Amino acid sequence: MSDLIAVFRAEREALYGVESTARKYDLLFDVMEEVIGRDLPVRSIKRQHCVEVLTFLKTFPSNKMKKKALRDLSLRDAVEYARVHNLASLAPNTVGSYMQNLTAILRWAERGDWGVRVALAEGLIDRRSAQVKRRGFEPDELRKLFTALSVFKTTSPAKFWVPALAAFTGARAGEICQLRAADVIEVNGVACLNLSEFDAGGERAADKRLKTAASERMVPLHKTLLDAGFLEFVEKQKGETRLFSELRAGSKGSYSHGFSKWFGRFKKGVGFSGRALVFHSFRHGFRDACRRAEIPEETALALGGWAGINQATNYGDRSAVPVLEKAVQKIEYGDFDLMEF
């Protein structure tokens, strides 16, 4: 088991980065080694082992590393401490995500002839148990949010422009926060974000990561971003390597780590305390806006980096910019206008 985890970890880190792998798999790896056993031959894994992992996760305390009393305890001791002190356990949707990741590990192992079958974990996730359904911001909610964000436009511009870019490009927080000034480019007269792991010279940038291969894309900038002064902001960053130089990389290299935590606190302070609205809601809202604008499916997938199984994978080069630019200008959120701020 320990060998399987080590090889899977190394491959996933190479493909998706250390931070993404740690965030999605570190606890699961620890639970697998604790519950299934580090030394168990992979061919000996049974369905009962998967059930035991699920059962353990359901009793595991949430935010273990943030609670001083739990931080230095072993996994089993943390579970017992949480039981005795009636602490909250992992949310059902979080447990479901870890079980999906366990399925991904078993699927990977099955393809790699480790002698295990992915079917061992099938049917264990109760998809009805999700407690939160994420959604996009409504126009009045966007107005309320950006009214509060507008104070940062000049004093701490990342706090204004990162959400603004997310709303009108559908890009992820990590993709935006790691942008370099040189990633804002012009293609045949169209201003675009070049969302790429490579720099202007074609060299892979050590401090940039994309979620999937389909995430590599060119996104034309919406007119409302231009009218609100985004290119003027970019022009002021010409002497900087990074577009949002105020953002610092977290311990695992992500420039969005600290920003995401700040945004979570900020939106609660504005009045959005529910779990259905998070930073990723901008991405949900962008996808919904594509549907409302009747943008063709493959074009919408290409804009948001959701492509992978259809012709949208052919939208990655500069020749597609005119098609994408025509589509992105159709995006709107009712009567919400970024120009107000």
Which CATH number does the domain housing residue 179 bear? Answer: 1.10.443.10
Residues above pLDDT 70, as percent of the chain: 94
What's the pLDDT at 211? 75
| 124 and 192 inside one domain | no
Q: Are 229 and 259 within one domain?
A: yes
Is this prediction's pTM over 0.85? no
- Which of 31-40, 59-68, 246-255 shows the highest mean pLDDT? 31-40
**134 within some domain:** no
| Residues 152, 122 share a domain | no
Task: Report CA torsion sign: 136, 138, 144, 147.
Answer: positive
pLDDT in tens, 47-61: 999 999 999 999 999
Same domain (yes/no): 200, 165: yes
Predicted confidence band of residue 132 (pLDDT cuts 50, 70, 90): low
Residue of higher predicted confidence among 78 and 127? 78
Listed residues 83, 104, 129: the one ending a domain: 129
Instruction: With a cut of 80, say whether residue 146 has pLDDT above it.
Output: yes
Domain that holds residue 97: 2-129
Report d(CA 339, CA 341) in Å as an integer.
5
Q: Where are the alpha helices (DSSP H) in 134-277?
A: 139-149, 152-155, 158-169, 173-177, 223-227, 230-236, 256-270
> In the predicted model, is pLDDT for residue 28 greater than 90?
yes
Judge contact between 57 and 99, C-beta under 8 A: yes
Count of domains for the chain? 2
Same domain, 178 and 33: no
Are 249 and 180 in a shared domain? yes
Mean of all residue pLDDT scores within the chain: 88
Residues 121 and 160 in one domain: no
Q: Is 128:217 a contact under the CB 8 Å cutoff?
A: no
CA atoms of 265 and 183, how far apart (whole Å): 29
* Claim to verify: residue 114 and residue 187 sit in the same structural domain: no
| CA angle, 126 then 131 then 132, to 5° | 125
Contact 99, 54 (CB under 8 A): yes
Q: Stretch 254-280: mean pLDDT, rounded?
A: 91
- If asked whether residues 153 and 78 sit together in one domain, one would say no
